[in-house]
Each structure stands twice: as structure tokens, then as C-alpha cells.
Structure 1
Amino acid sequence: MKSLTAVIKRPDPVSLSFLAVTFMTGVAVALQVPTLSLFLAEEVQVRPFLVGLFYTVNALVGILISQWLGHRSDSKGDRKTLILRCCAAGMALSLLFAWNRNYWLLVSLGVLLASLAATASPQLFALAREHADRQQKRADMFSSVMRAQFSLAWVIGPPMAFALAIGYGFEVMYLASALAYLICGLVVWRWLPSLPLPMRDEAAPKVSSWRDPSVRALFIASTLMWTCNSMYLINMPLYITRELGLDEKLAGILMGTAAALEIPFMLLAGYYTRRFGKRPMMLVAVLAGVGFYIGLVTLSSQQALIALQLFNAIFIGIIAGIGMSYFQDLMPGRAGVATTLFANSIRTGSILAGAIAGIVAELWSFHGVFMVALTLAMLALAACWRVPNV
């Protein structure tokens, strides 16, 4: 693949810094998120309701703050400064969790800092898109390579998080996260470009993102796809142990297999998008998702579940690889809002998935959750069909 080869053969400090910051922010987040419920239950010692409340408040506040900062970054200026402030918020968040055990401080100040820190990733991708456009480079391919770095961080981060938390304690784990944010801030300060706002046509009518039918359809499709994925991640460990009676270690094998396969499909999506366009690639992704959930509701052997991860990797790899740039192409001159919309579709999907998976599993079965996910995947296919090709 010539485009990927070009990225590898001709590295420059700016491109390498984008990849490094993406990887390190991914590591910082992957150190915190997998062990959060364990931290709240064992270290802060709160009951399950308050654990769930923390996740809900964190998701809702994250959506509001990231959307506000996305609009502000597109109208007020320098993303580099905003990313630096987000890295500083990430450091403060990590130190707060390392040394504080008061739940109400964590669910207030902690959630605020977490929402600010989480904005670093969409702003980083927005800045990378603007830099690629100015350099007349292929934004799709570079965005896919960046997203692959984030996925690689999630292959490494969770095992490291549990090893640090179990072996040395949560304080050491959160201090490691703070160190990751510090490294990110230093790389951002030293190497990332500070770009002026892109020129916008002031005569063009200012249309709300939600009023644009193409953006609205893509947001609905993306939200439905991420809802399916989150429902699978929530439901799968309980399904294979309680309903199928399989070894609980299989859950880790399935997640690891999918994560490993996602990375090459992200890169392939970035490469083939130039030839076919984004809508055909997204339709391939959703069709793979439909096939994956059909397999989940009809097959139950360990070998079949492992084989199905190929379809799951195509589904998530393509969405994660080009979904963000699809929003950016539909919203020229508003990279911050576009990238934040994609990130918020993931957050919204997580909120919906938690509610749907819990209710369906309790009233019906864990198998029934996958039936609902299959229905949502089909609805996502219909919504994706309405988005124009770019």
C-alpha cells in the first residue's frame, strides 16, 4: 500500500508527534477506564448504585463539555493551547484519583477534569486534519494510522493497569497515568503546530449541525453502531458464562482477538477510502456488523465465537478508522465540532447500551440483548444509506 508506505518511509517530527501523543493519551485513558469500577468499589468503598451513577454523570457531563469546547475551538482559535490545557486537566485528574478517596469530590471535580481531559483526543484529531489539509496530505490515511495508535494503546493499557493496581496499588497506577499525560503535554508543547483558524465563507448560511440531514443521519448511524458494540462488550462475558456455560477466560480471548484484528482493518479502511469513498466503506462495515450479530444469535460454540471476531473487527475497525473523517468531510471548516460529534456518538452509544442491555437482560435474556443489537445494526444500515458519499 503506497500511502501507508509513504507515511512510514518519510516520517517528520510533526507527524511522529501526532502519533506519539495519540498513543500516550490512549495509554493514559486505558490505565484509568478498565479499573474504574474496581477502584470505586474497593478503594472508595461505595455501593453499586453510586458506581453506576458515576458512569452516568461522567458520560453526560463529558458530552456537554466536549460539545461546548468543540464549538469554541472552531470559532476562537488555537487547538494546540486547548490540547495542552486538556493534558494539564488529565494530570490533575490522575493526581486527584491517586490521593483522594472522597466519592463526592470525585464525582464533581473529578468528572469535570475527566471531561476536559477527554477533549484532548477529538481536538488532536481535528488539529491533525487541519495540518494534513494544509500540507496537502491524505487526511483519511493519516487519521486511520492515528486511530490505530489509540487501539494499540488499548491492547497494552488494560493489562498494565491491572498489573499496577493489583501489584502496587491504585496510587501507583494513577501516577503512571499522570506521567503519560505529562509526556503528552511536553510533546504537544515542543512539536505540535499552532495553526490559525481555517478560512470560512462568512456569506454561507450558518446551519446547525443537527439541522443538516447528512450530518444527522451519520450521527444516528454512528450512535447506533457504537450502541451495538457497547451492548456486546457489556453483555458478552455474562452471556458466555451464564447462558452458554463456557470458560470465563474466553471473554478475554474474544476481546483480544478483536482488538488485534481491528488495527489492520483501520489501516485498510484509510487506504481503500480514496478509491471507493466513505459511504461504501461504512456500508461494508455495517453489513459486517449485521453478519456478526446474526452469528451471535445463531452460533454458540467457542470456535464459532472466535471466528466471528473477524466480522466484529471489520465492523469496528472501519467505523473507528474513517468515521471521524466522515464527519469532518461533511462539515468543512468545523473540524472541532465534527470530531466532537463523532466522539459524542460513542458516548451516547455507551449510555444507551447500558440502559438497553440491563433492561433486556433482566426482562428477557442475555441472548435477547444480541437480538436487539442485530435490530439496531439493521437500523444503522438504513441510516448510513442516507449519508452522501464523499
Structure 2
Amino acid sequence: MFFSGVTYAATMPYASLVGVDTLGMSPGWFATVMAAGSILGTLVSLTLGYISDKLPDRRLLVLATALAGIIAHGMIYVWPTQLSFMIAMALVMPVAGACYGQCFAYVRVYYVTHDPKRADFMVTALRMVFTLAWIVVPPLAGWIAAEFDIFNVYLASSLSYAAVAAIFALLMADKATAVQMPPPVRAEGASLLSTFALPLGTLAGLAGLVVMTAAMRILTFTVPLFIVGDLGGTVTDVGFYAGITAAIEAPCMLLLAYLTTRWTKETLLAAAGLVMAAFIGIASILTSMAAFYWLLLLNGLGTAALMSVNIPYVQDAIKGRVGLSTSLMDVVAIAANLLGATAFGLLTTGGNYRFALMVGAGVAVVGAAIMAFGNMSRLGELRTAEAT
């Protein structure tokens, strides 16, 4: 999970700087490439999620997706052109992007099989390990990008995917780590589709997650350019922004782990959307890096909730289908990437990054509202039956 975190932490803060500033793509073309990858990634993720619940050994999918990551980001490093960036991000990374979700699906199934009482705890703990990579890597990657070559961040990601592949290859040598969930039992007379059913409240929650995460994507794509262009910062500041946010996330996740025993996940996620809206909205009117750094307290709290509470929320979506449910994390992320990249392309065509952030704040509010109004009966404190 740490190396999986490195693959994101080394590259995501710099994607728009590489595509737009370094390779010379227009914001609109960059957004189109990212959107195309998102569309394909949605289909790939659902397919792999369904397959993972059928395969006798789900570790094979983690290995395959990690190999795709080696190829995609290795291609950008070895062949740094607009064409390689387009091929990697639109065609290969949709497969590699499923590695994150399939790792969590494997962890969930392993602990449900061997130690069910620890399953939720271990998923949360490993999400914190993922976050540790975001504390360590972005400042280091920012320094390397500024002092040497920005494409080195893709080398770091490719090597990290190689580490994930090596770890799972070693796991496959141990038969005890081969686990799988039994298929869900279909009620007598019920159709096959009934085993894939999603309640309306869950559908609303997933839609709200997509919209709130899209606001975060608008932030992710816009803020590096905003820091460099509007706040007078540097590429190194971009790395510190990501690292500081992650450092705040880690203790916030501990707080959220406690709050999930008191409040429903829907309540926490809707509140997270409002916190993100406050951060993005206030950031859009700032004029100095110093003030921006102080504001990262809000960013860390909101991001921690949307990136940790969402995991058990999504994994419970389709009963008895952990792999397919977990793949919905990828679907949410990919759909959000599609919306966020499209919005980024439209909103920043004239180079107005402040306006893009203002719209991002509004999008976060809309997502929180969808989550809240679609789950009114689920808002508030946990009921006794749920808590036990």
C-alpha cells in the first residue's frame, strides 16, 4: 500500500504541469486525454471487479494491473512526448488505475476470511499507510522535479509499480495468502440481477461521492498552476502543498475512525464535502503562499474523510461482492476524474485559475447536498443496532 501510494503521490500533483507546462498541451487537450482515460477506466474497473470475484486467485489481477503501471509511467519517462503521454494516460493507465482498488479488495477478503473482526481496522490502517506516501513523496518529488527533471516523478512511479508487482509475486508463492469470497446466495425465485442490486440511498451516496471527488479533481488539476501562476510559488511549493495535506490527513483519519463509531458514514461524507467547499472557495481569493499553507488544515480534514470513510462505505454497496463493490471506488474516482478534467479544460481555457477554484467549491457543495438529501434517514448518530 505504501508503494501504491507512491505511484499517486509522485505523479498526481504534477500531471497538469507535465502535460500543459512541459509538453505544451493546451488545457483543453490535456483535459480531453484525461477524460478519455477516465471513460475507458470505468469500463476496465467494473470488468476487473466482476472478474476478481470469479477468479480462484485475485492476486493475479493486482499483479497484472501493476505491470500496466510499470509500462504506462515508464513510457512517459523514457519517451517524454505528447504522444507517449496521451497513449499512457488514455490507454494504459485505465488498467493500472485498478491496482489501488484491487489491493484493497484483496486485503478485505483476506481479513474477512482469516480475522473478520479486524477487517475494517486493517482497511483503515492500510489506507493510512497509503497516506504516509503522500507525506514523504510529494516534497521530495517536487525537489527532484525542480532541481533535475520533472519526468523523474514518472520513473519513481514506474519503479513503485514494480515493487507492488514484486510483493504480490512473492505472496503468490504462499498458498495461505490465496483467498476468495463465496458467491452471494440468491433468494429462491429471484433473478441473477438481484445479487447486484444497489439501494436508492446507496446510488445517491455514490453519485454524491462522484461529484465531491470531481471537485477535488478540479482542485488537483488547477492548484499546481494556481500556486505557480497566481500565488508566486514554485514547483517545490506544489510538492510541499501535497505533503503537508497528507501529513494533516494521517491524524485526521484516526479521528474519523473514531467518529465512524458515533456517526453514520453518510453524515461524515456530506460534512467532508462542505469542508472541501470551504477550503477551495477560500483558497480562490488568497494572494499569498503563507495564507494558503495555513488553509491546508481544512484541506487535510476534508480529504481525509473523502479518501478513508469512502472505502468501507463503497465496500458495503453490493452485499457479498467485495471485489465488484471495491471496484466502485475506481468507478467513483474515474467518473470524478472525467468530470473534473472536463471542468478543468472548460474553466481554465483563458488561464483564469481562480474562477476554476470558485466553481470547484460550488461543485463540492452540490455533491454534499446529493449525499445528504439522498440519505436523509441515515444522517446523524449511529443507531444502536448499527453501532453493534
Equivalent positions of 1:35-114 (< 5 A) are 35-36=14-15, 47-48=25-26, 51-100=30-79, 104=83, 107-108=86-87, 111-114=90-93
CA positional deviation for 1:201: 1.1
Secondary structure at 1:275 match in 2: coil
Q: Letter of the 1:126 partner, please give it.
A: A
CA positional deviation for 1:336: 1.9
* Cα distance, 1:75–1:30 mapped onto 2, change above 3 Å: same
Instruction: Confirm whether residue 157 of structure 1 aligns to residue 137 of structure 2.
Output: yes
Q: Letter of the 1:196 partner, please give it.
A: Q
Quick one: which of 257, 266, 269 aligns to 2:256? 269
CA positional deviation for 1:220: 1.1
The aligned counterpart of 1:282 is 269
Equivalent positions of 1:364-375 (< 5 A) are 366-375=353-362
CA positional deviation for 1:103: 5.5
Normalising by structure 1, we get a TM-score of: 0.79
Stretch moving more, 50-59 or 204-213? 204-213
* Cα distance, 1:312–1:107 mapped onto 2, change above 3 Å: closer
Q: Deviations over 1:265-292 (max 9, x none)?
A: 1232223313333223223323323433
The aligned counterpart of 2:128 is 148
The aligned counterpart of 1:234 is 221
Equivalent positions of 1:347-358 (< 5 A) are 347-358=334-345
The aligned counterpart of 2:182 is 198
Secondary structure at 1:137 match in 2: helix
Equivalent positions of 1:321-332 (< 5 A) are 321-332=308-319
> How far apart, CA to CA, are the structure 2 residues paired with 1:87 and 1:331?
25
Work out whether residues 95 and 178 of structure 1, in 8 Å CA contact, stay in contact via their aligned partners in 2: yes
- Greater RCO (CA < 8 Å, at least 6 residues apart): 2
The aligned counterpart of 1:27 is 6
Work out whether residues 27 and 154 of structure 1, in 8 Å CA contact, stay in contact via their aligned partners in 2: yes
The aligned counterpart of 1:248 is 233
Number of residue pairs the alignment of both structures matches: 366
CA positional deviation for 1:179: 3.4
Quick one: which of 125, 131, 139 aligns to 2:104? 125
Q: Higher helix proportion, which one?
A: 1
Stretch moving more, 153-162 or 72-81? 153-162
> How far apart, CA to CA, are the structure 2 residues paired with 1:150 and 1:85?
20
Stretch moving more, 223-232 or 74-83? 74-83
Work out whether residues 289 and 315 of structure 1, in 8 Å CA contact, stay in contact via their aligned partners in 2: yes
Secondary structure at 2:262 match in 1: helix
Normalising by structure 2, we get a TM-score of: 0.79
> How far apart, CA to CA, are the structure 2 residues paired with 1:34 and 1:300?
20
CA positional deviation for 1:80: 0.9
> How far apart, CA to CA, are the structure 2 residues paired with 1:319 and 1:238?
23
Structure 2 stretches lacking a partner, 5+ long: none
* Cα distance, 1:208–1:218 mapped onto 2, change above 3 Å: farther
> How far apart, CA to CA, are the structure 2 residues paired with 1:97 and 1:299?
34
Aligned Cα RMSD in Å?
Answer: 3.5
CA positional deviation for 1:27: 1.5
